[in-house]
Structure 1
Amino acid sequence: MKNKLEKLLKEYVEQATETDVKALLHVLKGMKNKLEGHSSTYIGGILHYEKNPEETVWEVNIPINPVLFNSLGIVHGGITATLVDSAMGTLANNLVPEGYGAVTSQLNVHYLAPGIGDGLRCRAEVAHQGKNTMVISAEVFRTDGKKAAQATGSFFIVEKKVSSGE
């Protein structure tokens, strides 16, 4: 398996532009973050999440890199949605009782401005917390301060299943 990876990387680097190399380095550094335990998920590692938690507010920052771009050279809307869902979902999961988790049941994202600049910052806060559901709102800002997206998410609160190990 390592030989295949080495061959693929060699071929990639030989053909890559400077932008291609920058994108690959971004992904590889993110994977390394996951391996070293700096991120609990691959997506968090690849996006280089920087988390700034408070009790009822959760902020996540990501650097903008060409690997995140759509064909127009701006951050892909799906990346913005992933940032929003991750910030809101992490906040929701930090607020549920032990033995429970929160899963997204609905996500609404309103894109207001293109994702450009050096990074994006998502700020999520609880709008409603019930026994079985939670609603969280979020805003995404560019580094120039302009709001790039406004979102809400609904979350089901579910009991975590204990694995039997089989």
Structure 2
Amino acid sequence: MTDPKPPKIDIAEARAHLEQVFDDHEQAFERFFLARFLDLGFAYLPETAGAADKTGCEIRFPVTDRIMNPQGVVHGGVLATVMDISMGHLVAKVAGPAATIEMKVQYMRPLTDGPARCIGSFTKRGRSLSFMESRVFDAQERLVAQASATWKMPAGAA
């Protein structure tokens, strides 16, 4: 058995991307450095009942060599990060900045091509703690990974 070939990164393209991220990021939701580095695109999904609260945060992101491990698949830490961001941005839209208390990640299949899609949502929303979940799908809409998490809500969250 031969070892898988690690992805070949185009240094010039990676350098150009990094320079753009340094020029373009700001310490704000959706625009912070890591979100820009991973090229995350955000959308918020309204409740089906038509209420003003947002019930989902969808993140789309390209699958590039920069985020792959030496086995040629997206690194599990990147998937966990994107899922954490999807939940954190949803909490921020609904109630303000919060904090992840704990998160469990399950990996179902390797992510090798994209674009990929991640959806974070509330399982149960409370005043001091909320329970959330997030799922990543590949370009064929197959479940790649899922996470469940507990979040400390901001003071005064309803």
1:39 positional shift: 4.5
Q: Which residue of 1 aligns with 2:13?
A: 22
Q: Deviations over 1:91-117 (max 9, x none)?
A: 112121xxx531000111101111111
Quote the Cα distance in structure 1 between the aligned partners of 2:32 and 2:75: 20
Quote the Cα distance in structure 1 between the aligned partners of 2:100 and 2:111: 23
1:125 positional shift: 1.1
Q: Which residue of 1 aligns with 2:79?
A: 80
Q: Which of structures 1 and 2 has the bigger CA Rg?
A: 1
Task: State the identity as a percent.
Answer: 22
1:105 aligns with 2:132: no
1:74 positional shift: 1.0
The count of corresponding residues between Structure 1 and Structure 2 is: 140
1:124 positional shift: 1.1
Distance of aligned partners of 1:27 and 1:73 in 2 relative to their CA distance in 1, 3 Å threshold: farther
Q: Which residue of 2 aligns with 1:125?
A: 121
Instruction: Give 1:126-141 correspondences, 5 Å limit.
Output: 126-141=122-137
Any conservation in 2 of the 1:63–1:118 contact (CA below 8 Å)?
A: yes
Distance of aligned partners of 1:18 and 1:93 in 2 relative to their CA distance in 1, 3 Å threshold: closer
SS in 2 for 1:56: strand
Quote the Cα distance in structure 2 between the aligned partners of 1:64 and 1:22: 14
Any conservation in 2 of the 1:64–1:116 contact (CA below 8 Å)?
A: yes
Quote the Cα distance in structure 2 between the aligned partners of 1:71 and 1:20: 16
CA root-mean-square deviation: 2.2
Where is the helix percentage greater, Structure 1 or Structure 2? 1
Any conservation in 1 of the 2:41–2:59 contact (CA below 8 Å)?
A: yes
1:143 aligns with 2:158: no
Distance of aligned partners of 1:113 and 1:26 in 2 relative to their CA distance in 1, 3 Å threshold: farther
1:20 positional shift: 2.7
Q: Which residue of 1 aligns with 2:65?
A: 66
After TM superposition, the runs of 4+ consecutive aligned structure 1 residues lying more than 4 A away are none
Gaps of 5+ in 1: 1-16, 161-166
